[in-house]
Amino acid sequence: MGCSRCSTIPSLEEGVLTKFKKNEYLVRQNEKTNQIGFIMSGMFRLSHIDADANEWIVGYSFVNDFVCDYPSFIKQATSTVNIQATTECEVYLLSLNHVCRDIPTLIRLLLR
């Protein structure tokens, strides 16, 4: 797999390796998402567009990090942010079902 974290997350191997071109979206604001990504290469920008059409950058996600709109993902609600590739990216996409099945493993990983 290439990173030390990947071998500790059994569900990553069940994820789908997906390539994103620069400027492609993982999710757009106001869309539902049922996937979380683990970034193998590249970088994503998270932004929010307010009621006056102003775009606010609210974060970035990098290699060896998870990427998604966490509250929307967990609640299965519409996304409050756009998640856009700022470079070419390779991401393992996992469904909510995979993540829920492996919650104990993920909690141990995040608490390290």
Each residue's pLDDT tens digit, 54-81: 999 999 999 999 999 988 887 888 999 9
Q: What is the rounded CA–CA span in Å between residue 63 and residue 3? A: 10
Q: Residue 89 and residue 43: Cα distance in Å, rounded?
A: 7
Distance CA 27, CA 71 (A): 13
Mean per-residue pLDDT for 73-97? Answer: 90
pLDDT digits (tens, 9 = 90+) for 13-48: 678 899 999 999 999 999 998 889 999 999 999 999
Residues 32, 44 contacting (CB under 8 angstroms): no
What pLDDT, on a 0 to 100 scale, did the predictor assign at position 102? Answer: 57
Residues 106 and 94: beta-carbon distance below 8 Å: no
Res 101: pLDDT:
61
- Please say whether the beta carbons of 69 and 24 come within 8 A: no
The pTM for the full model equals 0.76
